[in-house]
Amino acid sequence: MLIKRPSDIPSSEITSESHYLSRRKFMQAFAGAAAVAAGGSVLSSCADAESPASSRQIAELPSRPLDFVAAQPVSDNNGFSTSEKLTPYEAVTSHNNFYEFGTDKRDPKRYAGELQTDPWSVVIEGEADNTGTFFLEDLLKNQPLEERIYRLRCVEAWSMVIPWVGFSLSSLIRRAQPNSSARYVVFETLYRPEQMRGQRSRFNTLEWPYVEGLTMAEAMHPLTMIATGLYGKSLPVQNGAPLRLVVPWKYGFKSIKSIVKIKFVNARPSTSWNVSAPREYGFFANVNPKVDHPRWSQASERRLPTSLFDSKRIATLPFNGYAEQVANLYTGMDLRRYF
């Protein structure tokens, strides 16, 4: 009878993540099986140890969101925040477009428990000097966090005001030391269909993993942030745990969630929605009331939460109201052509 003790299973970088996860699952199963005297059940668990975790088994594992926000003091940053009324926490965390969990806006919260966000590592690669695979703890070590209240405007013409907790992406980029060939930054979301049921959908024009990108200028802009929390708490899974991008002057689909890879490249990258529907979703996706989506107008938006008798319809602002800070990135650019 093979008995594995916790000390025999190191959480080493050498072990691939899926391997590591299924071993942890095995340890949990063993803890239960130890109470049962049947040697046969332990042996069959051995056989299961290397197989991908089913969503039912994952739901039984305790998932510990990385609680970095609580561990570090969060400064109240003043240069970035809007003073508009905040969208309540309940609405922010229950109304999400995160198709990796399903296309209903209630799906991400519904199935959030299926995703294991600990351990988490981010691969940094491409045209840079300090590349490699980094555990999230190491990326965030000594990184001061601040609260920023940003507007988020979805391409579907609704918006929210969210108090994110995080830091400017530029500080992460500087640590990666991109070289002179780096003209764009590409981001990738986790691909783990056994824990993200939307990725198992057969009839879907979005290809996984979800990919997004920014020009270096956009990525280095102080407004562009990596968020690890909201409302003073760790990011919930449905909001893109454990780390996501927030680019407040662009449509929400640019603010990629649950990032596992950051790559510096020379040529403009393909981005998921643009590949899926090139006439409808552009690379730049700057919020622009004058450039309509082919199927609906972008001139106004609903500020959530709405009620049945108050649709909270407001005029959409150029660059989502951040024109003063970012319009200079696009001087001379035809915003209709480069949408």
Within residues 198-217, the interface with another protein by CB under 8 A covers 198, 201-206
Are 91 and 143 within 8 A, CB to CB?
Answer: no
Q: Which stretch binds another protein (CB under 8 A): 37-45, 56-64, 184-192, 197-205?
A: 197-205
Binding mask 223-262 for another protein (x = CB under 8 A): ----------------------------------------
# of chain residues touching another protein (CB under 8 A): 34
Nearer residue to another protein within complex by CB, 159 or 224: 159
Token pair for 150: 């940003």
- The residue among 305 and 318 lying less far from another protein, judged by its C-beta, is 305
CB 307 to another protein: min, Å: 6
Can you tell me which of 309, 331, 332, 334 binds another protein, judged by CB under 8 A? 309
Binding region for another protein (CB under 8 A) out of 51-59, 92-100, 175-183, 188-196: 92-100
DSSP, res 109? H
Other CB atoms within 10 A of residue 337 CB: 9
Residue 166: which H helix or E strand, with range?
Answer: strand 158-168
> Rounded CA gap, 185 and 261, in Å?
10
Beta bridge partners of 245: 226
CA distance 176 to 127: 10
Which is nearer to another protein, 304 or 323 (by Cβ)?
A: 304
Task: Show the binding pattern over residues 149-168: x = contacts another protein (CB under 8 A), - = does not.
Answer: ---------x----------
Residue 187 contacts residue 176 (beta carbons within 8 Å): no
**Amino acid letter, residue 151:** R
d(CA 62, CA 208): 26
Site string for another protein, 166-185 (x = CB under 8 A): --------------------
Q: Which of 5, 56, 85, 295 binds another protein (CB under 8 A)?
A: 295
Q: Does the footprint of another protein cover residue 337 (CB under 8 A)?
A: no
β-partners of residue 121 are 135
Beta bridge partners of 263: 125, 186
Of 63-71, 73-81, 85-93, 162-170: span binding another protein (CB under 8 A): 85-93
d(CA 219, CA 249): 12
Q: Does 304 bind another protein (CB under 8 A)?
A: yes
- Axis crossing angle, helix 17-33 with helix 39-48, rounded to the nearest 10: 170
CA-wise closest residue to 291 among 233, 252, 250, 332: 250
Q: Which residues bind another protein (CB under 8 A)?
A: 87-88, 90-91, 94-95, 99, 103, 105-106, 158, 198, 201-206, 273, 276-277, 292, 295-297, 302, 304-309, 311, 313
